[in-house]
A and B are shown apart, each in its own frame.
Chain A
Amino acid sequence: MKTEHTNGIGASIKRLEDKRFLQGQGNYIDDMQLPDMLHAAVLRSPYAHANIIDIEVSAALEQPGIVTILTFADLISVKPIPIRLNPYGSLEPFLQYPLASNRVRYVGDPVALIIAHSRYQAEDILEHILVQYDPLPVNIDTEQKVINPLYNEAKNNVASNFVMQKGDIAAAFEQAEHITKLRFTSGRHSGVPLETRGLIAHYDATQERLKVWGPTKVTHFNRGVLARMLDMGEHQIQMIEPDVGGGFGVRGEFYPEDYLIPYAALILKRPIKWIEDRLENLMACNHSREQVYEMEMALKKDGAILGIKVLLSNDQGGYIRTHGIIVPELSAAIFPGPYHIPNYRCEVRSVLTNKTPAGTYRAPGRYECNTSRERLLDLAASELMIDPVKLRSMNLIQPEDMPYKVGTESLGEDIVYDSGDYPYALQEVVRLSKYEENRINHNPLSNKKTGYGIACFVEKTGLGPFEGARIEIDQTGRVTVSTGAANVGQGLETTLAQIAASVLTVPPDSIRVLHGDTDLIPYGVGSFASRATVMAGSAVYYAAQQIHKKLLMIAAHILKCPIDKLTISDGGIYISENQDNRLTLAQVAQQSSPRNCPPDMEPGLDFTHYFRCNQMTFAHGATIVKVEIDPETCAVIPKHVWIVYDIGKAINPQMVKGQVEGGAVQGLGGALLEEFKYDSNGQLISGSFVDYLLPTATETPIMELKRLDRSPSILNPLQVKGAGECGIAGMGGALANAVADALGDSGKKVDMLPITSEKVWRWLNTNAG
């Protein structure tokens, strides 16, 4: 057996879940078949904005394979899908019902559900439902004149309008020696996990229980939502997470289908499967990112920032979904980033449009605000003729100012940076990339334009309020960990096993990690906001410590010696000075059974711990990107990425590296390739992978990463911060700045993502920009 140092916390062991994935033995939702199962297809609106006059299903009911069709009128006492994060009552009129009642508000809005004997048949039947629509004027732009608002309750389509501020912004601008202004736009993206969404629901009438396979991310919360929407008790619903092909924030929220499929299973009393196709995924799963920042920054001539004013427009799409308005709220809260901004005012307008509704996608609200702020900083640096590194350095929050209260708030909590050495991370990435030397030594013979761009970032991680872990050791000595956190592909099974293994000194691959099943543990929160390792990991740590203590108590009883003379190592317990009389975990477990346990002790090796923390822990770092631009094609070619990041302690450094690299490439996609485009009628014109471009291996440059552990978290026993969003957080800003740097005098026009060849051509060849 290996020792703790080679396989526990801090070791880059191979992932425990990988063997089944590598051999094609994963169990994703569409891999499951139940006897007697039916298949569903969703009829979606072809109009972006229209009143529904009539739905005629009689022809469809004659088609081969048809079982039933559900429209809004068939849903008994249906309720709208509630907000999960920070519900504001004023948003309630804009919530989405599982099926549209009398109006559709985006292309893809669900109108009817078809249940048939096969998926092919269900999809065939879609075209036999005759819906009569009365098209309405379409609202596509957050700034256009509103002729026909989406809702009577939202004048000018504004769903929410609020201000976040600190200090005295007017005074800051009065003292300004220089003002930099920039309007920056971020395109519409989504997480686009490679596995589309899917569900199987089955009502077991004998047990009076509804089972739903396919939920992830927040299974316990979603069980509660479904129970309330169906007027059932939570105990009557079991949600089970299968293997999941990527989450990225979009997957696992409660969508219309998460009600429709269980509802149909309840009324038909047969298992029903629904698998989203890719076109549906691109028009039905949450969008994100589309925001416009109108920014003004007041500075001293030497580059010291006095204050920033922002007017932020968020394109929410046709409904408020489970995230409420958390995305623009996070944008406003984190906009100051790692910099000391003494005076700040951000006005947020979240505007309803006839597009797919928006929610969170990896680094929600921050990818956009970081990009906009970092671009603003570079523009100021160029206007003031100050080096971009110097301008950043002089405004960064210093390590001695930690913990640092930003003066903004999100999710009802003040934003307080717990720890971090921001200047050091910037210096390290500058050193790692040889930024200073490389910027001077441009190859004058190359016909390519080369540019370097920097971005600094802070990432909120480890969101509370709690997560639980239950650890049991059975009679054979086998350790099982159960949690309410979810495995969306990030490697939760490995991470939690490593933490338990460290405490219990057993090999991680001997530990079974169970997750995502609401029957495993009474309370759970889930996997989002880079929280699973921080919150579930800490719960595992404490539960393992309790079981460790109990093991010693039982062993002391067996060996008839004081507890403080005992040692646990390599999965065995012995008297410290005498290893001969060594007890295995199985031997101790057998003696802790109710049959054998001493009468004055509570039997069993089974502990549950809920780790509770209301404060987020903030990771940070800095990103530099080198790009080349071909002046003929205007193609932007990313050449090299350097990221220095500090997440405190790492449980498995190679897995952390994978999180940062993967996020960075998603950030690259958003900066150069990915965009949901709509025409003036509100038709989604990027509904396939031929139009919505994801980065491939050829667009991905070399990456050099450096992980720092100078700022362990003070908020949890593992001293960890979440890693999942560090890679993506700075990529938009670094890429936009690199392009601007490469474009020379035209660089000041760089004002939007994604940066396509067409935009580069326009910046180079027009005066207007």
Chain B
Amino acid sequence: MVQDTKHTSNKTRLVKLTVNGVAYERVVEPRLTLVDFIRGELGITGTHVGCEHGVCGACTVIFDGYPVRSCIMLAVQAHSHSVQTVESMSTGDQLHPIQQAFWENFGLQCGFCTPGFLLTVQDLLSRNPDPTDTEIREELSGNICRCTGYQSIIAAVKQAAIYMRKEE
């Protein structure tokens, strides 16, 4: 969403925040959602919008360390907070172990829900390095994938847990 400054209303707010460790400052309408801010204002488009009502999980970002739905948060609520998106996970060509595990286990097809899943799994494994199948299913129940049928995603999470435990 590009805001055309000539045409926005005069009721605007300053938002200062960090996204993936980089500080940004923008003047926005208070109604602008966080996901539209990240994607449209900052041009960081890895975070996707699947439902715009907080159900599908595609827009999941890490907000001060916790996963949140950026489609039902406003950009102004992120003022002086820190946000991490999927773009923070890998450095250059080097995939994060969770991304590597998704790749090796065919844990994605169209790729649209994937950024939300990756960040949800990152959060899960930071709290629970060795989750059971049931725990994985519970934790992923807030993210919808319409392509894979979840089997390969669950396999990927188990593989990722092994990779991450080895790293430590």
Contacts and interface: CB of A to CB of B under 8 A. Distances in A.
A binds B: yes
Interface in B93-111: 95, 99, 102-104, 106, 108-111
Contacts of A488: 110
Nearest to B110: A489
Nearest to A663: B149
A196 B148 CA distance: 18
Interface stretch (A13-21, A344-352, A408-416): A13-21
Contacts of B39: 30-31
A30 B114 CA distance: 16
A245 B48 CA distance: 10
B110 A195 contact: yes
B126 interface: no
A685 to B, nearest CB: 15
A664 B29 CA distance: 44
A121 B110 contact: no
A724 B137 CA distance: 24
Interface string A271-283: 0000001100000
A193 B110 contact: yes
B51 A22 contact: no
Interface in A684-707: 688-690, 694-698, 700, 703
B106 A655 contact: yes
Interface residues on A, range: 35 or more
Contact of A697 (B1, B115, B118, B154): B154
A562 interface: no
Contact of B7 (A17, A23, A65, A192): A65
Q: Which of B3, B7, B56, B112 has the most CB of A within 10 A?
A: B112
A301 to B, nearest CB: 41
Interface in A103-135: 117-121
B144 A21 contact: no
B153 interface: yes
Contact of A21 (B50, B104, B114): B114
Nearest to A244: B110
A22 B113 contact: no
Contacts of A315: none
B143 interface: yes
A435 to B, nearest CB: 21
Q: Which of A25, A39, A703 has the most CB of B within 10 A?
A: A25
Contacts of A427: none
A654 interface: yes
A661 interface: yes
Contacts of B154: 697
A22 B95 CA distance: 8
B21 to A, nearest CB: 15
Contacts of A20: 111
Interface string A663-696: 1111000000000000000000000111000111
Nearest to B116: A194
A28 B45 CA distance: 9
A689 B55 contact: yes
A33 interface: yes
A518 to B, nearest CB: 21
Contact of B106 (A33, A37, A654): A654
Contacts, number: 194
B47 to A, nearest CB: 7
A490 B109 contact: yes
Contacts of A25: 46
Interface in B132-163: 136-138, 140-154
B89 interface: yes
A475 to B, nearest CB: 26
B52 A15 contact: no
Interface in B71-95: 85-87, 89-90, 95
Nearest to A728: B149
Nearest to A193: B146
Contacts of A688: 51, 53, 55
A46 interface: no
Interface residues of B, number: 64
A694 B144 contact: yes
A17 B103 contact: no
B149 A194 contact: no
Given A18-B108, A489-B109, A23 B95 contact: yes
A26 B6 CA distance: 31
Interface string A695-736: 111101001000000000000000000000001000000000
B3 A277 contact: no
A489 B46 CA distance: 16
Given A24-B45, A31-B45, A193-B110, A662 B137 contact: no
B146 A194 contact: yes
Contacts of B49: 30
Contact of B58 (A118, A194, A654, A665): A194
Looking at chain B's contact residues, the main secondary structure is loop
A246 B110 contact: yes
B2 interface: yes
A64 interface: yes
Contacts of B152: 657-658, 661
A488 B3 CA distance: 30
A192 B143 contact: no
A378 interface: no
A121 B5 CA distance: 12
Nearest to B51: A278
A26 B52 contact: no
B108 A697 contact: no
Contacts of A489: 109-112, 147
Contact of B4 (A65, A277, A698): A65
B95 A19 contact: yes
A694 B56 CA distance: 9
Given A22-B108, A23-B87, A246 B146 contact: yes
Given A194-B144, A245-B110, A661 B151 contact: yes
A263 interface: no
A663 B146 CA distance: 9
Interface string A546-590: 000000000000000000000000000000000000000000000
B112 A697 contact: no
A541 interface: no
Contacts of A690: 53, 55
A741 interface: no
B92 to A, nearest CB: 10
A194 B112 contact: yes
Contacts of A666: 146, 149
B158 to A, nearest CB: 13
Contacts of B6: 117
B91 to A, nearest CB: 10
Contacts of B43: 33
Given A23-B86, A489-B110, A696-B143, A278 B53 contact: yes
Contacts of B148: 658, 661-662, 665
Contacts of A417: none
A21 B31 contact: no
Interface in A608-658: 654-655, 657-658
Contacts of B138: 698
A243 interface: yes
A194 B145 contact: yes
A115 to B, nearest CB: 13
Contacts of A24: 44-47, 85-87, 115
A205 to B, nearest CB: 22
Contacts of B103: 14-15, 18-19, 22
Interface of B: 1-4, 6-9, 29, 31-32, 39, 43-53, 55-56, 58, 85-87, 89-90, 95, 99, 102-104, 106, 108-115, 118, 136-138, 140-154
Instruction: List the 9 closest A-B pairs by CB distance, nearest first.
Output: A24-B46, A489-B110, A21-B111, A245-B112, A665-B149, A661-B149, A689-B55, A24-B86, A31-B45
13 contacts: A22-B99, A24-B46, A64-B9, A65-B7, A117-B6, A118-B2, A194-B146, A194-B147, A246-B112, A278-B52, A654-B106, A665-B150, A695-B150
Given A30-B49, A192-B146, A246-B112, 4 more contacts: A24-B115, A33-B2, A662-B146, A663-B149
